[in-house]
Homo-oligomer: A and B are copies of this chain.
Amino acid sequence: MGFDGGGTKTECVLMDETGRVLSRGRSGPSNPFRVGVESASEALQSAARDALQSAGRAIHEVAAVVAGLAGTTRHDLAERMRADLSRLFPGSAVKLCTDSELALEAVGESPAIVLVAGTGSAAIGRDAAGRVVRIGGYGPQISDEGSAYDIGRKAVAMALRDRDRRGSDSPLGSRILCDLGFTAWDALNDRAQTSADEVFPKIFPIVIEAAAAGDECAQILLRDAAKDLAALVRRLIERLALGDVPFILAKTGGMIGRKPIFDEALDVALREGAPRASISSLSVAPAEAAARLALELLAPPKSAAIPR
């Protein structure tokens, strides 16, 4: 069984011994840094139950589990999630990694960089010698530039600035309020103070729709986010000394593949900052990559092509 858990959702893939996908499961967020260890564990349990039911299997039949969870760069949180997974799957081999490590595993080749652009943002890379470096993703207050959360927060800030200037809401501002079901900014602001993740990331789909429909403010927000994400990749290229080397640059996360207007803006920004990279989206779904890694826990591949 493989898990891919982020700030918005958890996906689970159940695979048989031959690598055939038996079923998939889905649940809410399982990033323990954002939702807490308890909620994150419950989300994993719920996605697993979902997948097991569809396949008509029981939890004790699961021989190996790999979970790639956002927010587990934090050693303490990783340890607690690993303990919960071992309790949840007694007798199984259990391996935990971050969502970005999982994505890098899914790429396989080296050198490579994976850009994670979802509720949060981060970049991870591996040079030809196998050295892995991860940057960004320190949480929404001080990091996660260009992420769905960041776009949402900036969209609200922009809407309030526009309102200050004109004395009334901009079209994008009205749309955000209305689509999120608030009648006043105070109410949205209150909700954001207590549950920011319930507000800001949900604004990204509104912004991307508005941008596609021609809203200039929304287009500016997306262009700025594309630049921020490309800057994250540029910092990693510098750190891994990949400036003059051809390498694979894979994009993954909930922001990718939604609307051409954003994917194209991101590719333009990435090509500018990384002219020697071959840019693609991740070809395997991360939860499926996790399930394949789980198979390898049972029977390690004979030729270890991927430095791990």
Q: Which residues of A contact B (CB under 8 A)?
A: 74, 133, 135-136, 138-139, 141-143, 145, 153, 156-157, 160-161, 164-167, 185-186, 189, 192-193, 196, 232, 235-236, 238-239
Whole-angstrom CA separation of A78 from B232 in the bound complex: 43
Whole-angstrom CA separation of A157 from B145 in the bound complex: 9
CB <8 Å contact, A157 and B143:
yes
- Chain B positions within 8 Å of A157 at CB level: 142-143, 145
CB <8 Å contact, A164 and B239:
yes
- Chain B positions within 8 Å of A74 at CB level: 186
* 9 pairs of residues in contact across A and B, judged by CB atoms under 8 Å: A135-B164, A136-B164, A138-B160, A139-B193, A141-B192, A143-B160, A161-B235, A166-B239, A167-B239
Knowing that A138-B185, A141-B193, A143-B160 are A-B contacts, what are 12 other residue pairs whose CB atoms are under 8 Å apart, sorted by A's residue number? A133-B167, A136-B164, A138-B189, A141-B153, A141-B156, A141-B189, A141-B192, A142-B160, A142-B189, A145-B157, A164-B235, A166-B239
Known: A165-B235, A165-B238. A189 touches B139 (CB 8 A): yes
- Chain B positions within 8 Å of A236 at CB level: 164
- Chain B positions within 8 Å of A161 at CB level: 235
Interface of A is mostly: helix
The 8 closest A-B pairs by CB, nearest first: A135-B164, A142-B156, A165-B235, A142-B157, A164-B235, A141-B192, A138-B160, A165-B238
Whole-angstrom CA separation of A67 from B275 in the bound complex: 59
Residue in B closest to A139 when the chains form the complex, CB atoms:
B189
- Chain B positions within 8 Å of A167 at CB level: 133, 239
Whole-angstrom CA separation of A74 from B188 in the bound complex: 13
A171 to chain B, nearest CB (A): 18
- Chain B positions within 8 Å of A142 at CB level: 153, 156-157, 160, 189, 192
Q: Taking each of A142, A157, A186, A196, which has the highest tally of chain B beta carbons within 10 Å of its own beta carbon?
A: A142
- Chain B positions within 8 Å of A143 at CB level: 157, 160
A213 to chain B, nearest CB (A): 23
CB <8 Å contact, A141 and B235:
no
Whole-angstrom CA separation of A196 from B74 in the bound complex: 19
Residue in B closest to A167 when the chains form the complex, CB atoms:
B239
- Chain B positions within 8 Å of A135 at CB level: 164
- Chain B positions within 8 Å of A160 at CB level: 138, 142-143
A250 to chain B, nearest CB (A): 19
Whole-angstrom CA separation of A142 from B164 in the bound complex: 13
Whole-angstrom CA separation of A136 from B193 in the bound complex: 16
A238 to chain B, nearest CB (A): 6
- Chain B positions within 8 Å of A156 at CB level: 141-142
- Chain B positions within 8 Å of A166 at CB level: 239
Whole-angstrom CA separation of A186 from B138 in the bound complex: 8
Q: Taking each of A74, A145, A193, which has the highest tally of chain B beta carbons within 10 Å of its own beta carbon?
A: A193
- Chain B positions within 8 Å of A185 at CB level: 138
